[in-house]
Amino acid sequence: MSPNTTSSTGKDKLIADEEKVLQAVILADSFNKRFKPLTTHKPRCLLPICNAPLLDWTFESLALAGVQEIFVICRSHAELVKTAIKNSKWSKPGAGLKIVPIVTAKETFTPGDAMRDIYTHGIITSDFVLVTGDLVSNIHIGDVVREHKERRKTDKDAIMTMVVKQSGVNHRTRSKGDSAVFVIDPETSKCLHYEAVTGYPPKKYASIPREILNEHPEVEIRNDLIDCSIDICSVEVPSLFQDNFDYGDVRRDFVHGVLTSDLLMKSIYCYIAKEGYAARVRDTRSYDSISKDILARWTFPLVPDDNHPGGHSYEHLRGNKYIAKDNSVILSRTCKIGNNTLIGSKSQIADNAQVTASVLGQRCIVGAGSIVRNSYLFDGAVIGPNCVVEHSIIGSGVHIKERTHVERGCLIADGVVVGPQAKLAPFSRLSKRRQDSDEEDDEFEDAEEQFEEEEDGDDESEDGDDEDEVDSELEDVEANQDPEALAKLGSDTNAIIWPLPVVDEDEAIDDLEHPDNQRLMRIGDNASDLVLSDPGSVTSSESESESDDDDDDEHFYDSNPASSTTSLPLSTPSNLVAQADSAVISEFQQEVKQSLDRAFAEGHSVDNAAVELKTLRMASNVSLRLVREAVIAAMVSRIKIIAGGGIPQRQEIASMIARWGGLIDKIGGVDPVETVEILQEYSASSDRLPLFGQILAALYQDDIVDEDDIRAWHGKSKSQGQGVKPASLQDCYNKCWVTGAHMIKQFDEQDSDEESEEDSDEGSETSEPAVKIPVTKELPSAGENSSEEGSCEESSDEEDEGDTDEDDSE
Amino acid sequence: MMNFDVTPVEVVTREFVAVILAGFGNELLPLTGEHGDEPCPKALLPISNKPMLDYPLSWVEQSGIKDVLLICPSSHRSAISHYIHSQSSSASFSSVHIDLQTFDESQELSAGTCSVLRHFANRIKEDFILIPCDFIPPPSLPLSKLLNKFRTDTMSDGSIVTSCWYEHKSDKQATQDEWGWGSPAKPTPIVWDHLSGTLLYVDSPYETDKNRHELELRMTLLSRYPQAKLSSMLLDSHVYVCKRAVLDLLARKTRFDSLRDDFFPWLCKLQYQSTKQEKYATSIRIGIIIHRADDGFAIRVNNLPAYLEANRHFVADTSIGDFTRVEEKSTIKNSTIGKHCVIGKMVKIVGCVLLDHCVISDGAKLDGCILGNSTTVGMKAELVKCVTQAGYEVKDNESVRHEKLDISDWAAQPEDSEGDDEDSIGEEESDEDED
């Protein structure tokens, strides 16, 4: 704003602009459930970070930026948010901030819906700042707003300025699972292209439209920016959301949509903040890193010992230790407080306890000899003696009893009691059983319950369910408790275990929220088994064919059949990850084997066996494929080989598959193609090779694999034994493959003469469902074929010569 | 042929050899068309009355490099070797030892640069600099700048190639669209990292075929170089300082044809795809030097508009070669006239390039033309923006616009109404005998 502008009309207008109140909109809902179960009774924006609710940090950041009017859009737990706003120091008269909570309909599922709601409310009168309710920032947004307004004078179509922070690619606060590539004109900092990047499965290419080069011949491609989710928006932005009702996410839909649209002709700019700090608590991992950033004073002047948003006062000691100033903290003489630690008032640390790089809320107690590392304890959490808590978030009022081990990545919701002598698997998520939540713990859940009862409809949950659905979700969780796993939580526990995130095949889930991608956003998860670099560059080392140039994508898919799961490509010996983890894997294989031995011997139910496997898998963080291998190996090895084969053999196989086949699909993911592969792999290297066809037929009958899966498997080059070493195995692979070929041939025949066959065979069949009749008749014969082929190899070799010749040349 | 080689055997191992590739210059037809039976090698086309080859050679010489491997088509051998050993050039390049080698190819079916290089791999024993004969380097960019970057990069992190890209701003006044001789060279979109000076991605026809609307960049690239720049303003100078190992890689990729379209785009990928690195057992980096238009004029003379532009650039207004005669009342503006030309009376020449031995008869008007060696222009003929093949004859009173005039297919063009049964063979041969 140049003060010496003399043109009178222009000046008046400028002054009018200047006088306008700077408005901000806070999206206080996160629209996802990454913090579950911590957020079942509390919205994310009220979770404390460094002992002050996130929302207060956000207010503080906005106040620092000179915002005067704030609209808080809340959806889940709206009443809680309202109370929090009412009690906030910023609502006190004279604070200079006007904070207005706006409760949106519970049908608001995305930020886009919230923006449409803002539009209908008509509260926005000028350019405004759009932030999320989990922002921690000390950036001078005022500068950005000024820049935005300045730009608006020359470019009416500049509707938005995104604040991004320069960092490194692997900065701890930069989310690996949810980042973006920005293409920016370096001179105007206009954003020309936005490409969202999901961490897993790793994105391979950023596709930059060539047409942007026509107008901007030289651009920068930035992959090192932290998106702070601070946007300076013009008044048109909510109306654009209104016009494009399919915009959900502000980035992935709105920004992408505006930039790619040929019709809108609007432009979006970036403000690359070189100084200052801004980050969003988007997930538990960033919760961890932002807490550390605050303790390391990157957010200055917003630090625990000054401007603490919760109004607490802390004393800053050397090594970034913060101890509440009111002399209420009791530290035993022999306890050890490590660096980067914050301890709230009235907390007690007993003898020989160690607290390192952690945040303790108020009234926390750490028992004698306990170790708390990289963990976050909310108010009133009690850790008993001789416990270990690592890389975890512990809700308020949680009581962890003596000698309990809380492994990395655990989220323990408010009021849970665990122990004594429990051992929590890594990444366990615990919440309190519902029935007792009504009886006890009145002190701190008072308010909530009151509201829950009043507002039964719309105060629950962040994922778009209303109270009933959450109840049913909890009910589901409660109903599916595994007593054995629960037993491990100690005798006094009141907890229920939330299931591991499982991909629901039916549910369309976007890549961002996919469990594997979410792992990148989990606290304490180093995700070392996920192949995160460009897959083409790590896995496909083998092929020496001359034409490798740009087809390594295909290699990737070949060597990673478990595309839907966490795949650990064991097939490549060069893989460093595999080597590093091989110890873990062999241990895991041992354990799985024992577990299955027990299950078979003691006749566990399929479900129980499945739960046990899942827990084991999570505990050692290995890929699903290993579990599948173990299960199939266990099953096949238990099928007795009956001399003479024929019908008794078939019955033997059928009974085994009928009893245990279901387990294959219950280990946490369904991938029939992989199942067939593993079956082949196992059969080929064992004495049960002749049974391959019959087992496959049995799996087919029990719907564990279907026709398409067999075809898919058959189509893969590896199925024919290519690249398999030693060469002797290759033969065995080939035999299996030929068996599969027979089966597919029969499928094809079936399709043509299903009708006629049915009639003629009906008599010989017993009680099988009609549809399967032709199959049951023919598939065993396929199995027999394969056993015959064991003796006469020539014939089988001849048969597939035509198919394999070209590729086998190496 | 090498009997004139009097350089004593060197004891010191050579650091670099400069490999200069001289091709046919098909883009410069009809200037490079045959003049009778004599070829008109592209490398010898004059730019402001100096053969094109002079520019890269003196660039090399200034950097202190002593050895040049000059590769040309076998049909150009005598012309080029004559040039090399003619007094003028051997005097100016006395410190450079030029090893002239030829390869067999015809103008119609020219061999790819990859195969040429592969063929001569055994003659290149050390690191080498690949230079095209048509690059006119700017004075502000000495070759030693590239060599120094190459030296530091190879020492520090195993860079094996240093490339050079330049920005070219064509003059506003000469908007090339109207020429009708084909457009000037189009810049190739490239991605590079500014901080480390690393070339990361070169767009190639293959990529364009794969995805015409989007540039696909690997995320591994962007993770390694998070502040990459993408530009579609830069042109490849085709100057590459290479490690000897590049030839080994080239030998393994037998199906590559063009260095610029196939090999270097592929090499860029080798930088960040560890699969390929494992396979080729190298980890490499490709350095880049970017020469901005503001820092000096650089151009590759590989098409007609560029040829005209290069000539204009070096001439403030008009330059006239030795032994050329200009008669009275003629005006010559903004043009370059070669040696031994005869320009008649009342001739008007604006913005033209005339090669040696041209004869312009009285009253002719030439505007924006390039006339090949020994072109004769008849009385009162008028040529606007034409290019002629060496030895072409323009009839009296003929008027031609926007044409490429070559000898072989004059008969095939009926619209040239005045095309007579002229025979082109009776032309004088152009000899460089002025000294």
The pLDDT confidence band at residue A5, using thresholds 50, 70 and 90, is: very low
Beta carbons of A124 and A262 less than 8 angstroms apart: no
Torsion (CA) A228, A233, A237, A241 in degrees, nearest 10: 20
Q: Is the pLDDT of residue A235 over 70?
A: yes
- State the smallest CA–CA distance between residue B278 and chain A in angstroms: 7
User: Rounded to whole angstroms, how far apart are CA atoms B124 and B102?
Assistant: 15
- State the smallest CA–CA distance between residue B18 and chain A in angstroms: 29
* pLDDT per residue as tens digits for the range A145-175: 888 988 988 888 889 999 998 887 777 777 7
The pLDDT confidence band at residue A392, using thresholds 50, 70 and 90, is: very high
The pLDDT > 90 percentage for chain B reads: 3
Q: Establish if A197 touches chain B: CB-CB under 8 angstroms.
A: yes
Which residue, A696, A790, A702, is CA-closest to A744? A696
* pLDDT per residue as tens digits for the range A558-586: 333 333 333 333 333 344 444 445 667 77
CA nearest A211 in B: which residue? B213
Closest to A206 (Cβ–Cβ): which among B213, B219, B229? B219
**Preferred mutation among A226, A272, A544, A549 to probe B, highest tally of B CBs within 10 A:** A549
The domain locations on chain B are 16-312, 317-424
Q: What radius of gyration do chain A's Cα atoms show?
A: 31
Domain pair B16-312 / B317-424, same fold: no
Which residue, A36, A115, A38, is CA-closest to A75? A115
Q: Do B273 and A222 touch (CB under 8 A)?
A: no
Closest to B223 (Cβ–Cβ): which among A169, A183, A217? A169
**Preferred mutation among B170, B234, B275, B279 to probe A, highest tally of A CBs within 10 A:** B275
Q: Establish if A220 touches chain B: CB-CB under 8 angstroms.
A: yes
Q: Which residues of B touch A211 (CB under 8 A)?
A: 213
Cα angle at A602 between A596 and A607, to 5 degrees? 60
H or E segment to which residue A360 belongs: strand A359-360
Q: Establish if B231 touches chain A: CB-CB under 8 angstroms.
A: yes
CA B97 to chain centre: 21
- State the smallest CA–CA distance between residue B30 and chain A in angstroms: 32
As for the ipTM of the complex, it is 0.80
Q: Is the pLDDT of residue A134 over 50?
A: yes
How many contacts does A have with B, using Cβ atoms within 8 A? 115
* pLDDT per residue as tens digits for the range A465-497: 444 456 667 777 777 777 777 878 888 888 888
Average pLDDT over residues B369-391: 87
Closest to B273 (Cβ–Cβ): which among A169, A213, A537? A537
Closest to B232 (Cβ–Cβ): which among A203, A213, A548? A213
CA nearest A539 in B: which residue? B275
User: Rounded to whole angstroms, how far apart are CA atoms A617 and A627?
Assistant: 7
| Two tokens, residue A71 | 């609209």
Q: Do B273 and A210 touch (CB under 8 A)?
A: no
Of B219 and A687, the structure prediction assigns the larger pLDDT to B219
Closest to A574 (Cβ–Cβ): which among B215, B273, B278? B278
> Which residue is listed with tokens 């460094």?
A50
Q: Establish if A573 touches chain B: CB-CB under 8 angstroms.
A: no
Q: Which residues of A touch B220 (CB under 8 A)?
A: 533-534, 537
**Preferred mutation among A179, A259, A537, A555 to probe B, highest tally of B CBs within 10 A:** A537
* pLDDT per residue as tens digits for the range A533-548: 554 443 333 333 333 4
Q: Establish if A647 touches chain B: CB-CB under 8 angstroms.
A: no
Q: Do A218 and B231 touch (CB under 8 A)?
A: yes
Q: Do B223 and A538 touch (CB under 8 A)?
A: no
- State the smallest CA–CA distance between residue B222 and chain A in angstroms: 6
Q: Establish if B218 touches chain A: CB-CB under 8 angstroms.
A: yes
User: Rounded to whole angstroms, how far apart are CA atoms B418 and B399?
Assistant: 9
- Supply φ then ψ for residue A182, to 5 degrees: -105, 135
User: Rounded to whole angstroms, how far apart are CA atoms A682 and B4?
Assistant: 74
**Preferred mutation among A205, A220, A226, A227 to probe B, highest tally of B CBs within 10 A:** A205
Q: Do A548 and B214 touch (CB under 8 A)?
A: no
User: Rounded to whole angstroms, how far apart are CA atoms A607 and A600?
Assistant: 13
Q: Establish if A206 touches chain B: CB-CB under 8 angstroms.
A: yes
CA B411 to chain centre: 31
Closest to A221 (Cβ–Cβ): which among B222, B232, B274? B222
The contacts of residue B143 (CB under 8 Å, 6+ apart) are: B59, B60, B62, B63, B65, B129, B137, B239
CA nearest A210 in B: which residue? B214
Average pLDDT over residues A620-633: 79
Q: Do A206 and B216 touch (CB under 8 A)?
A: yes
User: Rounded to whole angstroms, how far apart are CA atoms B207 and A273?
Assistant: 35
> Which residue is listed with tokens 């526990």?
A493
| Two tokens, residue B341 | 């030309």
* pLDDT per residue as tens digits for the range B43-95: 888 888 788 888 888 888 888 888 888 888 888 888 888 888 876 655 567 77
* pLDDT per residue as tens digits for the range B218-274: 888 888 888 899 998 888 888 999 888 888 888 888 888 888 888 888 888 888 777
Do the bridges between strand A429-432 and strand A423-424 make them parallel or antiparallel, or are there none, so unpaired?
unpaired
Q: Which residues of B touch A554 (CB under 8 A)?
A: none
| Two tokens, residue A645 | 């084969």
Q: Do B227 and A224 touch (CB under 8 A)?
A: yes
User: Rounded to whole angstroms, how far apart are CA atoms A742 and B67?
Assistant: 68
Q: Do B230 and A213 touch (CB under 8 A)?
A: yes
User: Rounded to whole angstroms, how far apart are CA atoms A743 and A726?
Assistant: 27
Which residue, A353, A358, A121, A112, is CA-closest to A237? A112
Which residue, A615, A603, A663, A607, is CA-closest to A635? A663
The amino acid at A2: S
- State the smallest CA–CA distance between residue A114 and chain B in angstroms: 33
Domain B16-312: give its CATH code. Answer: 3.90.550.10
User: Rounded to whole angstroms, how far apart are CA atoms A263 and A265?
Assistant: 6
Q: Is the pLDDT of residue B419 over 50?
A: no
User: Rounded to whole angstroms, how far apart are CA atoms A587 and A566?
Assistant: 18
Domain B317-424: give its CATH code. Answer: 2.160.10.10
CA A342 to chain centre: 28
The contacts of residue B197 (CB under 8 Å, 6+ apart) are: B149, B153, B287, B288, B289
Average pLDDT over residues B274-296: 79
* pLDDT per residue as tens digits for the range A704-739: 888 888 888 887 777 776 666 666 777 777 878 888
Which residue, A637, A643, A633, A711, is CA-closest to A672? A711
Q: Do A206 and B212 touch (CB under 8 A)?
A: no
Average pLDDT over residues B271-280: 74
Which residue, A257, A260, A261, is CA-closest to A248? A257
Helix (H, G, I), strand (E, B) or coil at B237: strand
Q: Establish if B283 touches chain A: CB-CB under 8 angstroms.
A: no
Q: Do A210 and B212 touch (CB under 8 A)?
A: yes
Q: Which residues of B touch A183 (CB under 8 A)?
A: 230
Beta carbons of B160 and B154 less than 8 angstroms apart: yes
* pLDDT per residue as tens digits for the range B346-356: 999 988 888 88
User: Rounded to whole angstroms, how far apart are CA atoms A120 and A525?
Assistant: 42
Q: Which residues of A touch B212 (CB under 8 A)?
A: 210
| Two tokens, residue A704 | 């564990």
pTM, whole model, 2 decimals?
A: 0.69
| Two tokens, residue A477 | 């969780």
CA nearest A218 in B: which residue? B231
pLDDT at position A755 is 47
Q: Establish if B232 touches chain A: CB-CB under 8 angstroms.
A: yes
Q: Do B215 and A217 touch (CB under 8 A)?
A: no
Q: Which of A379-383, A524-528, A548-552 has the lowest mean pLDDT?
A: A548-552
How many Cα atoms are found within 13 Å in the side-chain-facing hemisphere of A428? 27
* pLDDT per residue as tens digits for the range A76-119: 888 888 888 888 888 887 777 888 888 888 778 888 888 888 88
Residues of B numbered 196-215 whose beta carbons fall under 8 angstroms of chain A's beta carbons: which are they? Answer: 206, 210-215
> Which residue is listed with tokens 């919205």?
A43
> Which residue is listed with tokens 């979410």?
A518
